Chains A and B, each alone.
Chain A
Amino acid sequence: MTQALRVAVLVFLATVLQASLVSSVVAFGGSPDLLLLVLVGVALLCGAITGAVAGFGGGLLLDVLTLDTLGVTALVLALAGYFTGRYGETTGRDRGHAPIVAVVVATALVLVFGFLLHFLIGEAVSARRALLEALLPTIGLNLLLGAPVLALCRFALRRSERDGRVAEVQLLG
């Protein structure tokens, strides 16, 4: 299976799980974002372009499944995937803490940017709920869920290295 296909399957499963299961898990006022975590893993491992495309595709699928305004989540996650990928390619390269930083920053920015977009298109959103009550719990839950999800991403995407189609070198670990 090619890497692109693996990424597609990973993102698809994460999106469906996010829409049907994970989003309903609410703890301490926040809800984990499985799709974002998978996206962070994909973007850090595969780069900015793959991250952006995966984010766009996953976001669009999530918009479809949740019957939300088409393109909103796609835009947010495409940007998240791109900049996470860029971070992995540049500043975060060789850094052991890069995934932690990526998860925290991506979660915060996705929440804030998502709120702004929904606000701009006139949807009823609560700034207090989105930016104050949900932010810290969501970051905490994403950090907790991040370890197994990123390990799964690494496992799923590392196998494709044997295909010899990706010219990448492992720097750490």
Chain B
Amino acid sequence: MLGFPVRRPATRTSTSRTGSALRRRIVLGLLVVLALALVTASFRESEDGPLHSAQAAAASALQPLQVALERVVRPFRDAYGWTAGLFDARAQAERLRAENEQLRLQVIQNESALQTNVELKRLLDYVEGPQFPRDYTYIATAVTSRPASAFEQEVVLPVGSRDGVELYAPVVTAEGLVGQVTRVTDGQSRVTLLTDQSSAVSALDVVTGAEGIVEQGQTGNTLVMNRVSKKDVVNVGDEIVTSGWRSGNLQSLYPRNIPIGRVTSVGSLNTDLYQQVQIASDVDFASLDSVLVLVRKPGSPR
């Protein structure tokens, strides 16, 4: 590619070769010394010193030539710049696309974190509020597994017995009762939701004091309050909470006054022994993110 003949000096005598070598070294030595002297002087000298002034004058003298040359080559340089810019723009577009994708993911993560934050704030408000049972403490946790289908009304929590979770411990959110722990391992717990057909909670109407048992309703996410005597008064809109009964050594698994929902309809047939009370829970059982597992405080009555 670069090959071209390298010439060599014509054959010389030994004396001339020695002289040539000496001359070569002298020239190189002089040039190096001169360069070093220039570097030193230029480096030490102030900006308005003679060397800098000479340099500026020489640069000014050569400036017209540079300007003329720059004008001549400008079209070529512009063409090069345009082509290089095109490649740069493509590379930049790729980079920006990747960055955009990353930012989009970050926005999603931020929104998710914001929602979690709101959820935890609500839980905190509930824990610090008057409705939180006094004999209990809590374990706040996320939900790691949700119901796979409408027939499986269970969720899994990443806390277990080593965290203090007990079997049949109530699980709540700020909106109300969620269910109870039905299986505990060292590091995980399974919670059976209130909407599961095996769940049943003794409850009462906060306004009228009417008592009954809240169970799964006709459809998956609805609840009904059964065994409400026809003598009791239940009104639409009344709040239903856990009754937390105690009878001798026996007591409800749930503490008193945990919200369950509000009455949406009340009805009864002449042939029925009890009233039909429909309840709507504020808990969104289909999208539980964070919950509180209630743990009885040590020393509290069992």
Contact = CB atoms under 8 A, between A and B. Distances in A.
> Is this pair of chains taken from one and the same complex?
yes
Interface of A: 16-17, 19-21, 24-27, 44-45, 47-49, 52-53, 56, 59-60, 63-65, 67, 69-72, 74-75, 78-79, 82, 88-89, 92-100, 103, 117, 121, 143, 146-147, 150-151, 154, 167-173
Contacts of B51: 70
Contact of A173 (B1, B2, B4): B4
Interface in B49-84: 51, 55-56, 58-59, 62, 65-66, 69-70, 73, 77, 80, 84
B42 A70 contact: yes
B6 A21 contact: no
A130 B9 CA distance: 36
B-side interface mostly: helix
B70 A171 contact: no
Contact of B62 (A16, A75, A79): A16
B39 interface: yes
Contact of B66 (A48, A65, A95, A167): A65
15 contacts: A16-B66, A53-B27, A64-B59, A69-B39, A69-B42, A70-B39, A74-B31, A75-B39, A89-B9, A100-B1, A103-B2, A146-B2, A167-B9, A168-B10, A169-B10
Given A82-B31, A147-B2, 9 more contacts: A45-B6, A52-B27, A71-B41, A82-B28, A98-B6, A100-B1, A151-B4, A171-B7, A173-B5
A93 B8 contact: yes
Contacts of B70: 20-21
A147 B65 CA distance: 27
Contacts of A75: 31-32, 35-36, 39
B61 to A, nearest CB: 9
A169 B12 CA distance: 12
B253 to A, nearest CB: 67
A64 B55 contact: yes
A120 to B, nearest CB: 9
B77 A24 contact: yes
A19 B4 CA distance: 27
Contacts of B9: 47, 89, 167-168
B81 to A, nearest CB: 9
Contact of A92 (B6, B10, B38): B6
B6 A44 contact: yes
A89 B24 CA distance: 12
A143 B2 contact: yes
B70 to A, nearest CB: 5
Given A20-B66, A21-B73, A27-B84, A88 B6 contact: yes
Contacts of A89: 8-9
B10 A19 contact: no
A71 B42 contact: yes
Contact of A71 (B3, B10, B37, B58): B37
Given A67-B55, A69-B42, A70-B55, A169 B7 contact: yes
Contacts of B31: 52-53, 56, 74-75, 78, 82
A170 B7 contact: yes
Of the candidates B10, B56, B62, the one having the most CB atoms from chain A within 10 angstroms of its own CB is B62
Nearest to A97: B3
A8 to B, nearest CB: 15
A17 B76 CA distance: 13
B58 A64 contact: yes
Interface in B89-130: none
B34 A45 contact: no
Contact of B35 (A44, A56, A154): A56
A67 B28 CA distance: 24
B245 interface: no
A27 B83 CA distance: 11
Nearest to B84: A27
Nearest to A57: B31
A172 B38 contact: no
Contacts of A168: 7-10
B23 to A, nearest CB: 7
B136 interface: no
B189 to A, nearest CB: 54
